[in-house]
Amino acid sequence: MAHAAALRALLTQPPAVLPNQVGDPLLPLQIGIWDALLALLRLGAEAETLARALRGYTRSTGYFMACARKGAMRHGLDGRAVEPVSEEHRTGALKAVQGWRRRLLLKHGNRGRLSAPPLQSDMAGA
């Protein structure tokens, strides 16, 4: 949620594709959405700040989990699905989530400190 809020704060109007509150789904963004976001940049805001906010959003665990789901679709600013997430991107996102979980397990062991939900079987393509 914090990453989406950082993005929204830089834009003249909030894109429908971004979650507004906790519990709203994170949607994979359309490839090439940068130009559309840049066109919405608030007066006085820096393009580099927008780039950092977008990187934070698209490199978050929740975003990777959204991209890793089997059948995941990418969405335009209006929130409508425009194209499927490629198998290459889906696999890369799945590996990122698995690496994050592995690091958590190494750090915390099996002491019940993992708060993230288990990977859904549809993410692994099983």
Q: What is the pLDDT of residue 109?
A: 73
Q: Is 83 helix (H, G, I), strand (E, B) or coil?
A: strand
Q: Report residue 1 as tokens.
A: 């949620």
Res. 123: pLDDT tops 90: no
Which CATH code of 1.10.1710.10, 3.20.20.70, 3.90.1720.10, 1.20.1280.290 fits the domain covering 2-108?
1.10.1710.10
Report the percentage of the chain scoring pLDDT > 70: 87
Q: Is 4 helix (H, G, I), strand (E, B) or coil?
A: helix
Res. 126: pLDDT tops 50: no
Distance of CA 37 to the CA centre of its chain: 15
Res. 103: pLDDT tops 90: no
Buried b (16+ CB within 10 A) or exposed e, 31-56: eebeeebeebeeeeeeeeebeebbee
Q: What is the mean pLDDT of residues 89-107?
A: 89
Res. 121: pLDDT tops 60: no
Q: Give the bridge partners for 75, in sequence order.
A: 29, 81
Query: Domain coordinates of the chain in residue numbers?
Result: 2-108
User: Measured between alpha carbons, how far is residue 102 from residues 76, 110, 112, 114, 123 in Å?
Assistant: 32, 11, 14, 11, 16
Model's pTM, two decimal places? 0.80
Buried b (16+ CB within 10 A) or exposed e, 58-91: bebebbbbbbbbeebebbbbeeeeeeebeeebbe
Closest among 102, 105, 72, 98 to 86, alpha carbons compared: 72
